[in-house]
């Protein structure tokens, strides 16, 4: 199936399979009433996106039961091939003990400064561009 722009529309299964192949994405959230975007390292599992956020930041504040968007992509520099996935969900801070891959997400960060954020995949959409 293609959208009006001629882009291939990906189904949920394709979106989640591609989401699982990436390591870095972007969280879109509200900060002081304005849109904000921040790149993060993340993992996908248990039908959710998981990423670390430093305490006392706007990103962590948005993770306190706030609706966020999460975007990940792999696009060729000339924009003639690639894909992108967008996830919408209500972010919540969780104990790192609930996250089996927490050590890999938190590596290289000061102890005690990070918390884990979980964004369940409530809505997912994706597109693919082909040459």
Please give the structure tokens belonging to residue 110: 């000061």
Highest mean pLDDT among 8-22, 66-80, 87-101: 8-22
* Predicted local distance difference test score (pLDDT) of residue 102: 67
Q: What is the per-residue pLDDT across 46-92, written as a single tens digit (0 to 9) for each?
A: 999 999 888 889 999 988 888 999 999 999 888 788 999 999 999 99
The dihedral built from the CA positions of residue 102, 106, 107 and 111, taken in this order, carries a sign that is: negative
Side-chain half-sphere exposure of 42, counting CA atoms within 13 A: 26
On whether the CB atoms of residues 91 and 62 are closer than 8 A, the answer is yes
Quote the pTM value.
0.87
Domains and CATH numbers, the chain: 8-129 (2.30.110.10)
On whether the CB atoms of residues 29 and 36 are closer than 8 A, the answer is yes
């Amino acid at each position: 199936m293609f959208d009006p722009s001629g882009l291939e529309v990906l189904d949920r299964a394709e979106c989640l399979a591609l989401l699982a192949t990436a390591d870095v994405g972007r969280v879109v959230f509200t900060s002081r009433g304005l849109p904000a975007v921040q790149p993060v390292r993340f993992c996908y599992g248990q039908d959710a996106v998981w990423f670390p956020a430093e305490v006392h930041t706007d990103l962590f504040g948005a993770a306190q039961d706030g609706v966020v968007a999460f975007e990940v992509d792999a696009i060729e520099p000339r924009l003639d091939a690639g894909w992108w996935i967008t996830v919408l969900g209500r972010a919540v801070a969780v104990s790192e003990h609930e996250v089996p891959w927490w050590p890999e997400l938190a590596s290289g960060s000061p102890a005690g400064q990070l918390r884990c954020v979980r964004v369940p995949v409530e809505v997912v959409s994706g597109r693919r561009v082909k040459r």
